[in-house]
Amino acid sequence: MSETDVLYNAQCPVCSREIDHYARLTEAQALPLSYDDLNDVTTLARWGVTADDAARRLHVRRNGALYVGVPAFIVLWQSLPRYRWLAWLVSLPGLYRLAHWTYEGVLAPLLYRSHLRRQAKRA
């Protein structure tokens, strides 16, 4: 199995809840996945992405290839035995388009705006 790295926003309540769930599964099954918080400056340097780009969508790296958005979820789910069925399902052409539209057009923008509001409150 290949090494898979996940870059996510640990300060986002929705993102952290979901990724924490995956991390628990990873640990329980000793899977070769790692989870990096985009709020760590050294992490962003290793990933080669800006904090803003990282906050906009989920990023996953496998075997040196970078996946962003729905493709990142698919790669992550393929790495988790319990979620391989979901990766397969979302990869189907019609469902992929629906998932892409929902994530890119609705969910990711909502989460990103929430991220900006949290940052503004901290400033």
Banded pLDDT at 2 (limits 50, 70, 90): low
Retrieve residue 103's tokens.
Answer: 């994530």
Residue 96 has pLDDT above 70, yes or no: yes
Helix H, strand E, coil C: the string for 39-61 is CCHHHHHHHCCCHHHHHHCCEEE
The answer to whether 75 touches 57, Cβ cutoff 8 Å, is: no
Residue 47 has pLDDT above 90, yes or no: yes
Mean pLDDT of the residues in the chain: 95
Stretch 104-113: mean pLDDT:
97
